[in-house]
Chains A and B, each alone.
Chain A
Amino acid sequence: MEQKKINTTLEEDQLMVERLFSKEALANYDKSASNVPASYFEKFPETLQQRIANNKPKVFFLTPLGKMAIAAVFLVIVSSTFIFLNNSVSKKSIMVSISMQDISNDEIEAYVDANEWMADIDWQSETFKSDTEIEQFYKDSID
């Protein structure tokens, strides 16, 4: 039944719609949809070609002199970056050596005295760790 209904000709398909709405209404609908500004279709190809031309990617052809100029600029950038990085590394190492020299022995001793208790804690935790490791080793060997 459904199959029979679907196998319809173009005329039958159009008639189904025209029974719901009038043929005139459908013709009016199409005419309204087809309304265009004056000479739109005459101008359209030209407008389109302009838009296509604007969308094309621009290709630059460099002269040998231009290529050399770009290469020179590239070299300058690379070399200046290299020199800048080298300078900053050497400055850092100088700053470290100066700062170590500037600290007096008294200051170092005072720092050690003040933080002695911390060194004790570190030492204790290390010894505890080694004890547990040894215990674990013995346990493993017995098992």
Chain B
Amino acid sequence: MQSDQELILQFQKSIQREETFTQLVKKHQAKVYHQIKRMVNDHDDADDIAQMVWIKIWNKLDGFKMESEFSTWLFRIAYNETLNFIAKQKRQGSNTSSTDILNYENTPSHTDAPKSSEIQIKLDQGIKQLPEKQQFVFMLRYFEELNYEKIASITGTTVGGAKANYHQAIKKLEEFLKKS
């Protein structure tokens, strides 16, 4: 499989642009989609945002200078698009996605024990009450297992700022659990 850098160079030299771009999409689409879905909880919204992200990548890939990793740039665009989408939804007054509780029925490890589902619901509610930036940082650190340097580049903050965001998120989750 070709590296991101090789694919981007091919794209920029206009060598089979569509095919090259499709290869890039196939390599990264799942990670980008999952990160967006964790934030908006709705497949149609996540799909729409993901498409917008990739259209922006298509339009700007010619000017990409490879000063950062492609995946960092991709996640940064995904971060901006997702936050813009959530802000737009809030302005329109339809905050359905942030209050939706995730559907656990299709998950194989789901058990019928009430205690387990209660924890599940609390976790979902706890994450949803976090500010969007803290939510994003939390997901990138816990689920994507990214280092703080990369998280800082994606969210446009300092490494210290990214660390503070993650730890504030944990603190808020802890407080939420105590209250509920």
How many of chain B's residues have a CB under 8 angstroms from any CB in A?
49
Q: How many whole Å from A72's CB to the nearest CB in chain B? A: 38
Task: Give the dominant DSSP class at A's interface.
Answer: helix
Partner of B166, one of A13, A21, A25: A13
For the complex, is B122 an interface residue (Cβ under 8 Å from A)? yes
Task: Give the dominant DSSP class at B's interface.
Answer: helix
B160 touches A20 (CB 8 A): no
Given A31-B107, A33-B37, A36-B33, A24 and B116 contact (CB-CB distance below 8 Å): yes
The total number of A-B Cβ pairs within 8 Å is 103
Partner of B51, one of A5, A14, A48: A48
Given A27-B109, A51-B55, A10 and B119 contact (CB-CB distance below 8 Å): no
Given A37-B43, A48-B25, A48-B54, A16 and B170 contact (CB-CB distance below 8 Å): yes
Bitwise, A6-33 to B at CB < 8 A (1) or not (0) is 1100100110110011101111111111
A-side residues, CB < 8 A to B, are 5-7, 10, 13-14, 16-17, 20-22, 24-37, 40-41, 44-45, 47-49, 51-52, 55
Q: What are the 7 closest A-B residue pairs judged by CB atoms, nearest first?
A: A32-B102, A33-B38, A31-B107, A45-B22, A21-B123, A25-B119, A6-B163
